[in-house]
Structure 1
Amino acid sequence: MKYVFVLLLFSICLTGNIIAQQNDFVSGVDYLSQSVATVDRTNSGIVNPAALGFWTSMGLQYAHSFTDSTYKGDDGLLLASKGAFFSIEWLHHSTNISRRKYTLATGDRIFRNFYAGISYGWFSGPKSIYKSRKDWKIGLLYHPKPFASLGLVVDRINQPTFAGFKQKRLYQPGIGLRPFGEKLTFSADGLFLEGKALSHGHGIFRLVAGPFRGISLTTDYRNPREWRFGITYDVQQTRLGGQARLVRDTHYAGGTYFIEAGAEEFGEGIAAAPKTGSMILKGDIVEEPRSKPLFGQSKRSLYSVIRDLRRGATDPKIGGLLVKMEDVNLDFASAQELRTALSLYRANGKKVVTFMGEAGNLEYYLASVSDEIYMDPFGLLELKGLAATAQFYKGTLDKLGIRAEILATGPHKTYGDAFVDTTLTDAAREQINWLLDDLYGQFVEGISTGRGMTTEQVKASIDAGPYTSRDALKAGLIDDLKHYDELTENDAP
């Protein structure tokens, strides 16, 4: 309900013409019209730097804007990568004074679905009035639902002086709606000049339609009686496009054309709500990557699993993680590394859900870092503590006529006992018990921290194991019983 109220408030503000505009003769290239709520890719650094926190891939754009049929005008070169942005614009046509404008910007995710950014612009040229102009801009972006996005930009927050006049702050709120999916995007923006009467304002309304894959048509209307019509054509990581301007409804006033290359495929955008990632941990997970065998499949490496988890934990497009565990086989030290990587999701405010059909000590230790644990209704949780076994080779060596000679510097140097003894010595048993006690303490502490239980409760639960999944639910060791296909994105938003 609160989202409906916010959207309604923005709509009333915009349609009520509470927005004001100021002509700015040092603004820069007239780029393809985009809303502060739906701007994507490289244009983010110019329109709303907060969007750089979402569109983190690399992009490079060249744009040229003009005001008449001679096509003479201004040029811009924009570069964005991983939340950072830089642009340089060569401006001369609008005032017949050649000058350059530079912009640095950055944006990042503040918390879930909310982004903030800041940009700094400065000029160079023959006139001192341009050299003294320094602009700061801040931007905010929030997309509470996949079909809606809200944006706000405050320009000239430092109130710079230009030609002897102090520039007033410029507020630009915006809303974007996509009621029918990616085929249609509606956005409305406005410009509110600090200190100006609300009656001086006007709104900017845009409609973007995608009738065919890779083609977008844009219509932009702004007071007083100015229209812009644009088209973009996307081919994988390349976008071509342009727009024409009409003033007083019919008078041609130039336009813009551009070309952009990016590291990801393009798409007109409301920044979509983050998706839930998924991962299946199954079978052997080896310490290091290995070459693919001649027959069968190579085993997944611990390095690749941890790498993928770390990337997902910081990727703004991923809002949570669903993990399915099946007979995971790895040593305890590797399990600790894997558990630490899983915990990065929770550290970044992302929900982690784990599903287990049947599970032992290792699977449950890994799962305990999750926000929620689900088991199959007919599953088994073999939580029963730690144990160790010892192997001896002396009997085999005796049959082969081989005698091992081992040098040890103390009674607890027991590695060679397997080759000269047939049973554990007291020193070896003491050494193994010491190691087990240490591992058991870490095992209990991890479960205690993850599940919010005391160490005494965890130890009592281990002593009472193993459990059927229904008994595990009664004991508070898991959160619910479900089949894997019942788990949806709602379980790990």
Structure 2
Amino acid sequence: MKKKQIGGLIIAAVLFIAVGVSSVLTNAVSERMLESSVETLLTGNYTFNAPLSDYIAVVRVEGTIQEQTSTGALDSGYQHTTTLEYIDRLMEDSNNKGILLYVDSPGGTVYESEELYLKLKEYKETTDRPVWDYMAHYAASGGYMVSMAADRIYANPNTVTGSIGVIMSGYDLTGLYEKLGIRYVSITSGENKDSSQLTDEQIAIYQTQVDEYYNKFVGIVSEGRSMSEDDVKALADGRTYTAKQAQENGLIDEISLYEDMKDAMSKELGTDEFYELETPVSVWSSLFAKAEEIVPKSEAQILTETAEEMESGVPMYYAEQLQ
């Protein structure tokens, strides 16, 4: 066999082996990337990949402030546990120079609203770094409460804010159950254990709880806005305010567009680098939501979901929106 033929065979063999090895490695890497993507999608392992130089962190509070029941990317809206963990990471990062709190929320549960407020306070006390707040469409009730941790509050000209108050609501479905032939039965250890049909005594009991949460809310606003509690209570009858009204009443500091507010914060803190927590792609969330809309629901499902949407005695810092 000629030397050229032998050389050609050797080169072909080497190329064959190289292509095979490359294919195996490529498949392994691809599978690992796919596994990682699926894991991120399902478990919501958000990536903290902040800049290695000075930056301002954007913390978004969008949607109802409530318990995070899972950490998957298939969940949309505000992610409570993820947000708290994000703020913890920011406290540990010396490159972080402050937080821009972006609020677009009508509020939410008492528990989670106050927990987020306290976490932001902890961030300020631990790091001595500022928190600036920007209100978008809504920053009402619990959305306004979390803003009280901010050093400066900016609002869009069309923001709806305020709604300083507490609501505890639910449905009395006994009339509907009777029409459907459903009999509700409860065996309790005390006359106030069952609240399916509220008595005057039970209403008075729940009112004391609402009043307690309300007074706490007033105290937080009083501290955050350097106002007396009497002045806060004069504004805190549950009503919402436009940005202009809120500024006139001392509930916010400035009316501004978002980019203008970012420019002001950049100049104040000496950096134009802004960082947001990197989240998994949410396209699958939209697809599953569309699929869920197509599937017809039974009457029982509709009744159950309606009752859950209206809550069932859970105290809320929440502003009900006109449809």
TM band (smaller chain): 0.5 to 0.7
Relative to structure 1, the CA distance from residue 291 to residue 474 in structure 2 (aligned partners, 3 Å threshold; closer, same or farther) is: closer
Determine which of 191, 194, 204 is the counterpart of 1:430. Answer: 204
The answer to whether the aligner puts 1:288 opposite 2:69 as a matched pair is yes
**SS of equivalent residue, structure 1 residue 487:** helix
Bigger helix share: 2
Equivalent positions of 1:177-192 (< 5 A) are none
Determine which of 255, 265, 286 is the counterpart of 1:481. Answer: 255
| Aligned residue identity for 1:279 | V
Gaps of 5+ in 2: 1-48, 270-323
Matched with 1:301 is 79
Please state how far the C-alpha of 1:478 moved relative to its aligned partner.
0.6
Cα distance in 2 for residues equivalent to 1:336 and 1:402: 39
**Aligned 8 A contact 2:154 2:252 in 1:** yes
The answer to whether the aligner puts 1:372 opposite 2:146 as a matched pair is no
Matched with 1:323 is 101
Cα distance in 1 for residues equivalent to 2:171 and 2:107: 20
C-alpha deviations, 1:34-54, integer Å up to 9, x for none? xxxxxxxxxxxxxxxxxxxxx
Bigger strand share: 1
Please state how far the C-alpha of 1:428 moved relative to its aligned partner.
1.7
C-alpha deviations, 1:187-240, integer Å up to 9, x for none? xxxxxxxxxxxxxxxxxxxxxxxxxxxxxxxxxxxxxxxxxxxxxxxxxxxxxx
**SS of equivalent residue, structure 2 residue 183:** coil
**SS of equivalent residue, structure 1 residue 287:** coil
Cα distance in 2 for residues equivalent to 1:446 and 1:384: 10
**Aligned 8 A contact 1:275 1:317 in 2:** yes
Identity %: 23
Matched with 1:237 is none
Judge which range, 473-482 or 389-398, deviates more. 389-398
Q: Which has the higher contact order (CA 8 A, sep 6+)?
A: 2
Matched with 1:353 is 132
Please state how far the C-alpha of 1:449 moved relative to its aligned partner.
1.8
The answer to whether the aligner puts 1:396 opposite 2:205 as a matched pair is no
Determine which of 138, 142, 145 is the counterpart of 1:362. Answer: 142
| Aligned residue identity for 2:117 | R
Cα distance in 1 for residues equivalent to 2:201 and 2:210: 14
Matched with 2:112 is 334
**Aligned 8 A contact 2:162 2:246 in 1:** no
Count of residues paired in the alignment: 216
Matched with 2:58 is 278
Per the normalisation by structure 2, the TM-score is 0.60
Equivalent positions of 1:127-146 (< 5 A) are none
Per the normalisation by structure 1, the TM-score is 0.41
Equivalent positions of 1:26-425 (< 5 A) are 272=53, 274-284=54-64, 285-293=66-74, 298-347=76-125, 348-357=127-136, 358-413=138-193, 416-418=194-196, 421=197, 424-425=198-199
| Structure exhibiting the larger radius of gyration computed from Cα positions | 1
Relative to structure 1, the CA distance from residue 308 to residue 379 in structure 2 (aligned partners, 3 Å threshold; closer, same or farther) is: same
Gaps of 5+ in 1: 1-264
Relative to structure 1, the CA distance from residue 330 to residue 463 in structure 2 (aligned partners, 3 Å threshold; closer, same or farther) is: closer
**Aligned 8 A contact 2:97 2:129 in 1:** yes
